[in-house]
Amino acid sequence: MNKELELWKGVLSDGTKKSKLEKYIKGWEEKIGSFLEIDLNRGAYDSNESGALAGIPFGVKDNIAVKGFKLTCGSKMLQTLVSPYSATVVSRLQQAGAQVIGKTNLDEFGMGSSTDNSALQQTNNPWDTERVAGGSSGGSAACVAAGLVPFALGTDTGGSVRQPASFCGIYGLKPTYGAASRYGLTAYASSLETPGILARTVATTKDVFDIIKGEDERDQSSLSYEAEGGQVKTIGYLKIEEGALNADVEASYKSSIKRLEDLEYTLVEVELPTMDYVVPAYYTIAMAEASANLARFNGIRYGYAPFMAENPNELMKKSRHEGFGDEVKLRILLGTYVLRSGFQDQFYVRSQKIRTAIRNDFEKLFTKVDSLVMPIFPTAAFHHGSSDLDSFQQKVADKYTCVANLAGLPALTIPSSVENGLPVGVQLMAPYFGEDRLFEIAVKAEEKYPAPQPEDFDLEWLS
């Protein structure tokens, strides 16, 4: 176990430390609102007290099931639902001793890049409370950046772990598709999403990943983990068009490339010909899958139900009309549209072809380079509301992150620099099951440039 986790070990079983933690959390939560539900005791019963991570708290994005905790998905639809079971990734961490202390805020059902699409609460960026923490795993990123927990779980469908990690100045791992079980992750876009890890150090990211990874019989799309291995010598960096990134992000990206060269990697500029098709293909597939995945919420077995309905069909209609937010409805409608018979070739099938082309692009690329460095988002954390970026611009901005989801490749956000008071990160990518390569580069970079800390970050009380 790494030094950071060693420091956190037993915090929840030590009365003094526990109350200090409680106080520390309370202070921060008044400013950032990262948790939707928090309880330092409830999770103890489900954690293995002799595990290596015993007494270590962690947060879980509220679209991941934890038995006995709510599973709201940031939606009015599921505001009252308490999960009857736990996700495999959660159970594995509990088996290792770690304890869930709460559920973190998110964009409703993971749909968004700001966490402002949560129907239940606003989450602010620990670096600037006027700004968003990113999304959709904004709550998980904010609580980790503020030091409330050493790590948190998120989900990454199109950048939902990496983008908030970048906005909050921490590490964010989206593993290879199939490397970590999706059982217990409320499905949004099943073929794209994976559970992900948000942490302040590479070591903790890696330790948590080692615990959650591997085949799960409950997720038949999961695979047994066989590391790709191989040493990193050459890193490709994506050629970026003039003006595609805002100035701060561009400066940060350039300095990251320089830093990697300083670490004695060979850097070569690369291009991804399919990059322009990424966003339409991504949203077509994501919305198509979402339209089916969210069909189960109908107010009958659990979740929001209207005060009254004349018949079962009206009950379903009213529940969905009143329970879902606008962004969710938009995506369900578009998903239904692209799957209509007679239109599939034009939309869904074509997107799958683009997806194959993207995979082929990467396959070729990884014969030339061992890893890849790319921007994450064209801007740093933006202001609440749509004054900086409207909802359409936010979707277009998913370009750099959703490509890893389409290809199923692993990607890791590493903090790069702080520009005008806001952290900016870059992402590293590797071939399938090449997480070790990402960690190898990240550890070297971390030695010189560790994750920055926001003002009021203070873990003195821990030691």
Partner 1 sequence: MSNKYETFIGLEIHIHLEANTKMFCGCKAQYGDEPNTNICPVCMGYPGVLPMVNEKAMELGYKVARALNCKLSKNTFFERKNYFYPDMPKNYQISQFEEPVGVDGWMDFDTPEGTKKIRIHDVHLEEDAGKMIHAGDMSLCDYNRAGYPLLEIVTEPDIKTPEDTELFLRNFQRMVRYMGVSDGNMDEGSMKCDANISINLVGKGLGTKVELKNMNSPRFVRKGLSYEEERQADMLDQGKALTQETRLWNENRDQTEVMRTKEEAEDYRYFPEPDLPIFRPDQTFFDLVESGLVELPLTRKHRMMEEYKLSADQAEYIHDDLYLADYFEEAVKLGGDSVQLFAWLSSDVKKLLNRENLSLQDSPLTASWLTELLELISSEAISGKIAKKVLDFVFSDKKSPKTIVEEKGMSQVSDPAVLTAAVDKVMAANPDVVEAIKGGDNKQRGFLMGQLMKETGGKAAPVPLQKILAEKLG
The answer to whether 191 contacts partner 1 (rule: CB under 8 A) is yes
Within 10 angstroms of residue 457's Cβ, the number of other Cβ atoms is: 16
Q: Which stretch binds partner 1 (CB under 8 A): 156-164, 335-343, 363-371, 400-408?
A: 335-343
160 catalytic residue (yes or no): yes
64 binds partner 1 (CB under 8 A): yes
Beta bridge partners of 57: 99
Cα 310 from chain centroid (whole Å): 41
Catalytic one among 9, 47, 61, 222? 61
| 328 binds partner 1 per the rule CB under 8 A | no
Catalytic residue among 47, 75, 86, 136: 136
Residues 151 and 172: beta-carbon distance below 8 Å: no
Query: Is 341 among the residues that bind partner 1 (CB under 8 A)?
Result: yes
Q: Could you write out the DSSP letters of every residue in 211-224?
A: HHBS-BTTBTT---
> What are the structure tokens assigned to 159, written together?
């950048």
Say whether the peptide bond before residue 386 is cis (omega within 30 degrees of 0): no
Cross-strand partners of 102: 38, 59
Q: Which of 47, 105, 117, 186 binds partner 1 (CB under 8 A)?
A: 186
Q: Among residues 50, 231, 311, 420, which is the contact residue for partner 1, using CB under 8 A?
A: 311
Task: Give the binding range for partner 1 (CB under 8 A) out of 212-220, 255-263, 426-434, 441-449.
Answer: 212-220
* Residue 312 or 450 having the CB closest to partner 1: 312
Residue/partner pairs of 244-248 with CB below 8 Å, 24 or more apart: 244/378, 245/375, 245/378, 245/379, 246/378, 246/379, 246/380, 248/379, 248/380, 248/419, 248/420, 248/422, 248/424
Task: Candidates 114-122, 131-139, 294-302, 376-384: pick the segment binding partner 1 (CB under 8 A).
Answer: 294-302
Choice between 204 and 405, CB closer to partner 1: 405
Q: How far apart are CA 72 and CA 297, in angstroms?
A: 12
User: Is residue 221 near partner 1 by the rule CB under 8 A?
Assistant: yes
Query: Among 359, 224, 344, 204, which Cα is nearest to 278's?
Result: 359
Among 239, 340, 353, 364, binds partner 1 (CB under 8 A): 340
For partner 1, the closer of residues 282 and 297 by Cβ is: 297
- The DSSP annotation for 48-88 comes to -TTSTTTT-EEEEETTB--TTSB--TT-GGGTT-B-SS--H
Q: Which is nearer to partner 1, 37 or 440 (CB)?
A: 37
391 is a catalytic site residue: no
Do residues 268 and 366 make contact, with C-beta atoms less than 8 angstroms apart? no
Options 22-30, 135-143, 177-185, 428-436: segment touching partner 1 (CB under 8 A): 177-185
CB of 68 to partner 1, least distance (A): 14
For the beta carbon of residue 301, count every other beta carbon within 10 angstroms.
Answer: 9
CB of 254 to partner 1, least distance (A): 38
**397 CB contacts (<8 Å, ≥6 apart)?**
113, 377, 378, 379, 389
| Distances from the Cα of 31 to the Cα of 25, 177, 201, 382, angstroms | 10, 35, 24, 17
Is 80 a binder of partner 1 (CB under 8 A)? no
313 counts as binding partner 1 under rule CB under 8 A: yes
Nearest distance from residue 194's CB to partner 1, in Å?
13
Rounded CA-CA distance 81/414 in Å is: 35
Residues 88-107: x/- map of binding to partner 1 (CB under 8 A)? --------------------
Active site residues: 61, 136, 160
Please give the residue ranges that form the binding site for partner 1 (CB under 8 A).
63-65, 71, 73, 78, 81, 83-85, 87, 182-187, 190-191, 217-221, 288-289, 291-292, 295-298, 300-302, 311-313, 315-316, 336, 339-341, 344, 348
